[in-house]
Structure 1
Amino acid sequence: MLSLERLRPDHAEALLAFEEANRAYFARAVPDRGDAYFADFPARHAALLAEQAAGTCHFHLILDPAGTLLGRLNLVDVEGGGAELGYRVGEAAAGRGVATAAVAEACRLAATAYGLTSLTAVTTLDNAASAAVLTRNAFTVVGRLTIDDRPALRFRRHLADGG
């Protein structure tokens, strides 16, 4: 069973290694973070922790039972009982249900620990796996948009107590 662990200062080294190891894999589906992201990672990590401390975001690592970092999951732009969900799973864990399980846990946490009532998420039409993860977790399509010249869908899930 996997777990979501709230981002901490001591996660920086493992998170940077995960992002570097999966950079080319992620770039196949989403725009590359760019060299500056990696060069300035300590400052970026500190900024994420500051946003989390302010309550505007909740950042998590997705870990397997042995503590191996499989991915990350974020709830950002927390406001008015809602937040936007984002996630990425490393190549070694892709296709094994990790994202589906992590999103299910995030919905539970969002409702119970963070008091949220809804989540939104966006994925491009060419990322069918991500859309399937959202659909399996009771998200429904609520709109269409364009991201980096690619057609995309906006999803929403209303949360009940317990996610």
Structure 2
Amino acid sequence: MTFDLDDGIRLRLVESGDAEVYAAAYDANRAHLARWDPVRDESFYTVEWHEALIAQHLRDHESGRAARFVIVHEDGRMVGVANIANVVRGAFHSADLGYWIDASLAGRGIMTRVVSVLIDHARTELGLHRLQAATLLDNAASQRVLARNGFERIGIAPKYLRIAGEWQDHILFQRILSD
């Protein structure tokens, strides 16, 4: 499953052979992502680590627990990730949305288009009722992406995730998909 997003950017499901581009993309964006990610061990940046991660992503996709996408530049570089994770069925039919974009492409509207595609995928392919996203309190760029895609702020989760070595508060957003 592949989506062309203009500007030479494609969004596609992660594939088993992506470990090398995954490791390279995370390594190239270490400084850019450090503010928004958990503290990473050096092993995280290896191809071997990403082979194991991708194998888990593929199992999660097969079981319906997640849909992991890579954002690929026309030159073949992976320039970001977008995912629907932690799918819960039953009465909830909800999942978490996550994403990041290469520092060199931030602010160009690419992630706004990616999130729009993921919303449609969550609704039509996964049959979800709701998507949830969380941002650090000061992540205005990500908050704009969510607002442009119809997410509403639903509250603040104190000490929600351990990011950059500290438990940090996050703003929670949701998008109801069944309306």
**Taking structure 1 as the reference length, what is the TM-score of the superposition?**
0.89
Provide the residue aligned with 1:52 in structure 2.
Answer: 61
CA distance in 2, matches of 1:9, 1:17: 15
1:1-163 superposed matches below 5 A: 1=6, 2-39=9-46, 40-64=49-73, 68-80=77-89, 81-145=93-157, 146=159, 147-148=161-162, 149-160=167-178
Q: Deviations over 1:76-115 (max 9, x none)?
A: 0111221100001011111111111110111011111111
DSSP-derived class of the 2:99 partner: strand
Work out whether residues 21 and 77 of structure 2, in 8 Å CA contact, stay in contact via their aligned partners in 1: no
DSSP-derived class of the 1:17 partner: helix
The more displaced of 67-76 and 12-21 is 67-76
**Taking structure 2 as the reference length, what is the TM-score of the superposition?**
0.82
CA distance in 2, matches of 1:23, 1:105: 26
Provide the residue aligned with 2:3 in structure 1.
Answer: none
Report how far residue 152 of structure 1 moved. Answer: 1.4
CA RMSD of aligned residues (A): 1.8
Work out whether residues 22 and 50 of structure 2, in 8 Å CA contact, stay in contact via their aligned partners in 1: no
Q: Deviations over 1:131-159 (max 9, x none)?
A: 11111110001121123333211100011
Unaligned runs of 5+ in 1: none
CA distance in 2, matches of 1:125, 1:28: 12
Unaligned runs of 5+ in 2: 1-5
DSSP-derived class of the 1:48 partner: helix
CA distance in 2, matches of 1:122, 1:116: 18
Work out whether residues 66 and 84 of structure 2, in 8 Å CA contact, stay in contact via their aligned partners in 1: yes
**Count of equivalent residues:** 161
